[in-house]
Amino acid sequence: MSRHHRRKQRFKLSSFYVWHRYMGVSAAVFMLIVAVTGLLLNHTEDFQFDSEQIQSDWILDWYGIKAPDTMRTFLAGDRHVTLMGEHLYLNRREIEGNYRQLVGAILFKDTFIVAMSHSILLLTRRGELIEQLQDKDGVPADIKQIGIDTDGAVMVRTSHGYYQPDTDFISWKRRDENFTGVRWATPSLLETRLKTALQHHYRGEVLPVERVILDLHSGRFFGRLGPWLFDAAAVLLVLLSLSGGWIWLKRRR
């Protein structure tokens, strides 16, 4: 092999090496993200990333997560029972589960009776769920209002008549009389401080940490271009492996 040819080969190898380094540096940031998030995703359950929710305002804003501005609230005794989205709150305490169509709430003998259109919740003063009563438990369908009658008993008005539970809320009876003087629960206004607190709580309950890690892993966290950037990084990694292998082979010769 001539001297000229050897010099040309060395030049080729060193320029390839430079390219190899640049590709390595460019892919490093992405690879770090992919590796770290991959490790975390492998231990989602250990770290409870599937049940922990993101609280950071800027991440929630980045995802465009907003709390509903409209909410329905009833004043029962001295507490507000509020439905925001599908989240139900007794003052600031969230009641476990998802709920829809809150129609009223009253305080009855130290128990909060919360009426949805198709179920009734019994809550302690501390907000613990005593029982959720549904149609299978004899609760009438399509509840429109809940209130307390003139004898101090609970009464619900449905689209097909009036119903009353027994004292333990185990069975329900239809009442055919015309009722007057029932104190029906009516929606009330939520004070601004409580409203803000609930909106803050709501936002902090909808985005699991796992989702953000997954989005970081796939690049979706960085917007529409994110997955393309991560694809490019993957291609760089492939090239990096090939060029690394090639340089190694050339040096051995």
* Member of 61, 86, 131, 191 binding other proteins (CB under 8 A): 131
Among 3, 109, 136, 224, binds other proteins (CB under 8 A): 136
Q: Which candidate, 63, 127, 135, places its Cα nearest to that of 90?
A: 127
User: Which member of 97, 161, 223, 245 binds other proteins (CB under 8 A)?
Assistant: 97
User: Does 109 contact other proteins by CB under 8 A?
Assistant: no
Query: Counting contacts by CB under 8 A, is residue 128 touching other proteins?
Result: yes
Among 46, 69, 78, 96, which residue interacts with other proteins (rule: CB under 8 A)?
Answer: 96
Question: Pairing mode, if any, of strands 129-133 and 120-123?
Answer: antiparallel
Q: Of 147 and 165, which has the nearer Cβ to other proteins?
A: 165
- How many amino acids of this chain bind other proteins (CB under 8 A)? 13
CB of 44 to other proteins, least distance (A): 13
> Considering the rule CB under 8 A, would residue 170 count as an interface residue with other proteins?
yes
* Shortest Å, Cβ 170 to other proteins: 6
Residue 171 binding other proteins, by CB under 8 A: yes
Q: Which stretches of the chain bind other proteins, using CB under 8 A? A: 96-97, 124, 128-132, 136-137, 168, 170-171
